[in-house]
Structure 1
Amino acid sequence: MSCMRKPKKLKAKKLFRRLISYYIWFSITITCIAILVFGFIIFRTVGPVEEVLYPGIQSNVIVKSDYKQIDASFIQSIGGWVEIVDQERQVVHIIGEKKAGPMQYDRMQWQKLFYDSKTKPYYVSSAPIPGTNDQLLAVVFISSEYAIHEPLLHKMAEEINADFYHSLLIGVILLLILFMINLFIYGRLASKRVTGPLKSILGGLHSIVDGQYDKRLQYSGDYELQQIQDHFNTMAEKLEQAEQMKQEMEASKQRMLTGISHDLRTPITTIQGYTQALQLGLIETEEKRQQVLTTMLQKSQRVSELIDDFFELSKLESSDYPCELEQTDLSEFIREVAAEYYPLFEEQKFVFNYYIPSKAVSVPANSRLLYRAVSNLLSNSIRYNPPGTTVSILLNVMPLEVLIRVEDNGVGIPEELRTTIFDAFSRGDRARKSDGGTGLGLTIAKHIVEKHNGEIKLQSVAGKTVFDIWLPAQQTMRTTEKLVNRAAQRKPQDCLRIGK
């Protein structure tokens, strides 16, 4: 199983900040558009007012410090005149022909003079004479009747108002159009940053629903969306691993059922055959009958052994199986196992060695289950090796764990079987002799060791078959983590030099 991929470091801008930046730029753009639109409105309405008169007939253009030098010929040609009025509103000089108004203006007459009205006969503008400290004013009179027929000279207030409302309507419509265009552009930019990744996420979810756990997301997005991508990929990887484990378990169960059916069929067929032979009287001598009965007993024992092993394995595979641990002296435990198996090794003409510390080695263990695991390893050494094989069992103490090793220099295990040696019904039949193993011994041993939070491994040693059982010296909440760290720190030479 591959190691879980770590989430990559995220450096993307957060979605909140990006949306705020979009909002700021949107506001700035709308403000600029509004300024331009209202500038257009002002230009449409104020601009013509500023050009009410030709430049040559405006009072502030024609005034001079010497008012007698003022050129009012064009004004006179269109029926107008220029009056020089002092501080007391007294007309002190006239350029052209004065056609209306008194020579001395009172306050009311002076104020009405500059009112804007349709009934006024003249359009009036004024400007101070330079150098007189505003003591003298140049007042220009132009015929309103003439101005009405000449639109370049004057526009009535109603016309200006009409221009204003017309320009305002155009400006509002233009503002709305530009607002909608701007809203569409920024909306597309913002949604593209979100909808693109969301479509990828939706597609990934559909793939997961369809059982395609190898699907991975890969898009560029903001911080939150990249977090979703990373967690989705982690989830998909876990689901893919779970699916692979499920398939492996199903394949293992299928192999197990095949192995059980095969291993049960062979002895049962033998028993049936001998039973029929006895019934039909085909076995004539008493000696042969005893041989047949002995064979039938062995085959029935094998069936019973296979059923017991399978039942034991099914219990060990359950997570609810109780494994009560108590402090056990492994030195004494290994001595008892060695003493029990010593006669069997002598009988089979094996060389049996053991290396056990003289001091007590106390660890938490279930002695019944641990005996089953160790005895399975020793039984395999006897079952699958020829006479003359040297078998060794040893116990070594580490700072965090203890090692129980069972090794032999027999025929060995083929390389192609090493990766599946702990699977159910996995036997080295092509390299070892096969005379009755159930094929469940190593599988049971593996589950027992794992119930102790330990590890069992087949070491690669030239000319030897070496099984190592690593058990934690103490059982704590972090036992598994410590064993993983310890396993990473183990050196091959540390293991191989044990017992030498």
Structure 2
Amino acid sequence: MKSNKNSGSLFRLLARSYLLFTLTLLIIVGGIFTLWNHYLNSLYAPSDWMAMLTDQALSEGKYDSLRHYLSNSGDSFGVYDSSGHLVYASTEDFDSFYTQQELSCIPRYGSNILIDSYDLTQHKSNASYLIIRHTFQNDTGEDFVDLMALDQNYQVLFGGLQDGKTSYTPREYQLLTGTRYPNSFLQCASFDNSQGQSMTLLLREALWNEADYLRHYNQSRVIWLLFLPLFLADAGLFIWWLSRKIGRPLRKLNDAVISQSEGRLVRVGECGGTLEIRRIGESFDRFSDRLAESERQRRILDEGRQKLIADISHDLKTPITVIAGYIDAICDGKVPPEEQTRYLRAIQSKAEALTELVNAFHEYSKVEHPEFILHPERTDLCEFLREYLAVKYEEIDLAGFSLEISIPEQAIFCSLDPLQFRRVLDNLLSNALRHNRLGTVLFFDVDVEKNSALVRVADNGSGIPPERIPYIFEPFVVGSDARSGTGSGLGLAITRRIMEKHGGSISLTPHPAPGRSTEFVLCLPLEPQLPPSE
């Protein structure tokens, strides 16, 4: 199963999700703070008078388009013609007419003039108003101060502003001291319209007190209420994302477990999700495959058990039927006295075959039992085979078979149970003698390959039918399906089990060497060489 490399472990997913969720919250907070800060800046920022004065729309009389230069703090502007009449006002509280003397009392925009005024009517003196004008020089940094005192009728008592005036009207005084429009700072500027007429622009900047600042500041905090829906949306998005990354594959696994519990063998496949979930899915698929394989093997075992019972019944039934028939014939007097000896010999032969068959069943059940153990000894395989073949030589010769042996002179040590390994050789030799014709040559070869000793037991006889070769080591498999020949069909099954207990194996060579028709290969692990004795 291919793993999704884009998904890591559960810990990494949770850590990454937490960090990403925290980052998005910080982005939300930063965004709201930026919005709040932008709102406060737009609220407290001064109007861009310089940009307004340089805008072409001012001279063209497109005064409404100039409103965007005003801040949100209540700044406004008014336009007066050369005769002092109001032409345009951004708010309705501008005076409709000003004389040239009144306009000259308004500080010019960018003149660096600051006027302070003091009401002296509470003091017992001739002067009722005191005006101090500061003129700042940008190039030198000097501050020039002009002082002027007015009586209650706004007549100049002493000093002056170097404008030659000896008296002021009440409105001139208001315009001069900036009290004409409460809580405002007033400036003026001149410009020419598109017809070449001289126009005056009044710039009125609202002055806020501390209460106004605090009130607008408190109102601006309403923007932070946006955090709650954005937080809920962000949390919902991450919950959905985690549900997709974790919940969906877990639901898929749960559905697979339920299907498995209902007897349906299913596979999860690529379930997605984190590394741990994908590993669970892979483990579940391996479990499902093993369960399917176990179920397949169980069916095979059931079929094998049924076949085993049928084969045992067949193998036992044949000699028992013959024995029972002969005995019935003798007991019923149907056998002449001179024939009874032949019948008894036949009964004896069938009883011996039955005994051999029962012994084979016993050996097979013994080697298949979990408690079947070997008693291995460190043995020179070459010397063992020489002794074995020396004992069997007369039997082989009397059966009309010849023997060719290729056994090295040097010792090859293996861990063998002499009794059980001799049974392996007996089974192979008896099969060769039983199923081949006279004159067949038997071959016994010993060789070493890597860390194993190989014993090849072969013949040049009739061979094994090709259709029987894949099943030759299964129980009750003989040369034909008719089972009419001698033998129980358990010898090779017992041999394979004994070889497995030795840590080795037995196999049938699919393509024997030229001159050989059947060749079994016994593979045994080598024992380490002992150090030479001193």
TM-score, with structure 2 as normaliser: 0.67
- Partner in structure 1 of residue 495 of structure 2: 445
Q: Aligned with 1:461: secondary structure? A: coil
- Partner in structure 1 of residue 507 of structure 2: 457
Say which is worse superposed, 77-86 or 288-297, in terms of deviation: 77-86
Q: Are 1:141 and 2:179 matched, yes or no?
A: yes
Structure 1 residue aligned with 2:365, among 307, 311, 314? Answer: 314
Q: Are 1:304 and 2:299 matched, yes or no?
A: no
Work out whether residues 456 and 521 of structure 2, in 8 Å CA contact, stay in contact via their aligned partners in 1: yes
Percent identity reads 26
In the aligned structure 1, how far is the partner of 2:318 from the partner of 2:128? 144
- Partner in structure 2 of residue 193 of structure 1: 245
Q: Aligned with 1:357: secondary structure? A: coil
Work out whether residues 325 and 364 of structure 1, in 8 Å CA contact, stay in contact via their aligned partners in 2: yes
- 1:409-445 per-position Cα deviation (integer Å, ceiling 9, x unaligned): 22211112111110000111269x9432011000000
Q: CA deviation at 1:384?
A: 1.6
- 1:137-183 per-position Cα deviation (integer Å, ceiling 9, x unaligned): 9752145599xxxxx978998787666555534x3442211111122
- 1:75-104 per-position Cα deviation (integer Å, ceiling 9, x unaligned): 796999869999995669xxxxxxxx9524
Structure 1 residue aligned with 2:328, among 276, 279, 304? Answer: 276
Q: Are 1:329 and 2:380 matched, yes or no?
A: yes
Work out whether residues 113 and 135 of structure 2, in 8 Å CA contact, stay in contact via their aligned partners in 1: no
Higher relative contact order (CA 8 A, sep 6+): 1
- 1:437-480 per-position Cα deviation (integer Å, ceiling 9, x unaligned): 0110000000011110011001123660111111111289xxxx
In the aligned structure 2, how far is the partner of 1:214 from the partner of 1:466? 44
Change (3 A) 1:435 1:87: closer
Change (3 A) 1:336 1:40: closer
Q: Are 1:295 and 2:321 matched, yes or no?
A: no
Work out whether residues 446 and 455 of structure 1, in 8 Å CA contact, stay in contact via their aligned partners in 2: yes
- 1:36-67 per-position Cα deviation (integer Å, ceiling 9, x unaligned): 4345556667755654443348xxxxxxxxxx
Partner AA of 2:24 in structure 1: T
- Partner in structure 1 of residue 202 of structure 2: none
In the aligned structure 2, how far is the partner of 1:256 from the partner of 1:20? 60
Change (3 A) 1:227 1:430: closer
Q: Are 1:14 and 2:12 matched, yes or no?
A: no
In the aligned structure 2, how far is the partner of 1:38 from the partner of 1:399? 77
In the aligned structure 1, how far is the partner of 2:274 from the partner of 2:41? 49
- Partner in structure 2 of residue 357 of structure 1: 408
In the aligned structure 2, how far is the partner of 1:305 from the partner of 1:203? 56
Q: Are 1:376 and 2:402 matched, yes or no?
A: no
Change (3 A) 1:225 1:145: closer
In the aligned structure 2, how far is the partner of 1:168 from the partner of 1:461? 92
Say which is worse superposed, 128-137 or 29-38, in terms of deviation: 128-137
Change (3 A) 1:435 1:45: closer
- Partner in structure 2 of residue 181 of structure 1: 233
- 1:386-428 per-position Cα deviation (integer Å, ceiling 9, x unaligned): 2232222233344522222221222211112111110000111
Change (3 A) 1:473 1:145: closer
Work out whether residues 472 and 478 of structure 2, in 8 Å CA contact, stay in contact via their aligned partners in 1: yes
- Partner in structure 2 of residue 31 of structure 1: 26
Q: CA deviation at 1:366?
A: 0.4
Q: Aligned with 1:141: secondary structure? A: coil
Work out whether residues 441 and 460 of structure 2, in 8 Å CA contact, stay in contact via their aligned partners in 1: yes
Structure 2 residue aligned with 1:54, among 61, 75, 82? Answer: 75
In the aligned structure 2, how far is the partner of 1:221 from the partner of 1:127? 75
Work out whether residues 3 and 278 of structure 2, in 8 Å CA contact, stay in contact via their aligned partners in 1: no
Q: Which entry has the higher C-alpha Rg, 1 or 2?
A: 2
Say which is worse superposed, 39-48 or 461-470, in terms of deviation: 39-48
Q: CA deviation at 1:222?
A: 3.8
Work out whether residues 214 and 240 of structure 1, in 8 Å CA contact, stay in contact via their aligned partners in 2: no
In the aligned structure 2, how far is the partner of 1:192 from the partner of 1:264? 66
TM-score, with structure 1 as normaliser: 0.71
Q: CA deviation at 1:32?
A: 3.4
Change (3 A) 1:358 1:88: closer
Change (3 A) 1:470 1:38: closer
Gaps of 5+ in 1: 1-6, 58-72, 93-100, 111-125, 147-151, 477-500
Q: Aligned with 2:179: secondary structure? A: strand
Q: Are 1:469 and 2:517 matched, yes or no?
A: no
Change (3 A) 1:213 1:32: same
Between structures 1 and 2, the one with greater strand share: 2
Q: CA deviation at 1:19?
A: 3.9
Structure 1 residue aligned with 2:280, among 228, 239, 259? Answer: 228
Q: CA deviation at 1:351?
A: 2.8
CA RMSD, 1 decimal: 4.1
- Partner in structure 2 of residue 402 of structure 1: 453
- Partner in structure 1 of residue 194 of structure 2: none
Work out whether residues 403 and 470 of structure 1, in 8 Å CA contact, stay in contact via their aligned partners in 2: yes
In the aligned structure 1, how far is the partner of 2:495 from the partner of 2:113? 125
Q: CA deviation at 1:336?
A: 3.5
Work out whether residues 425 and 439 of structure 1, in 8 Å CA contact, stay in contact via their aligned partners in 2: yes
In the aligned structure 2, how far is the partner of 1:249 from the partner of 1:408? 33
Work out whether residues 82 and 141 of structure 1, in 8 Å CA contact, stay in contact via their aligned partners in 2: no
- 1:484-495 mapped onto 2 (5 Å cutoff): none
Work out whether residues 326 and 347 of structure 2, in 8 Å CA contact, stay in contact via their aligned partners in 1: yes
Partner AA of 2:468 in structure 1: L
Gaps of 5+ in 2: 45-70, 79-92, 120-126, 147-175, 185-204, 530-534
Change (3 A) 1:469 1:77: same
Partner AA of 1:31 in structure 2: L
- Partner in structure 2 of residue 3 of structure 1: none
Change (3 A) 1:83 1:469: closer
Change (3 A) 1:202 1:141: same
Partner AA of 2:364 in structure 1: L
Aligned residues, how many?
421
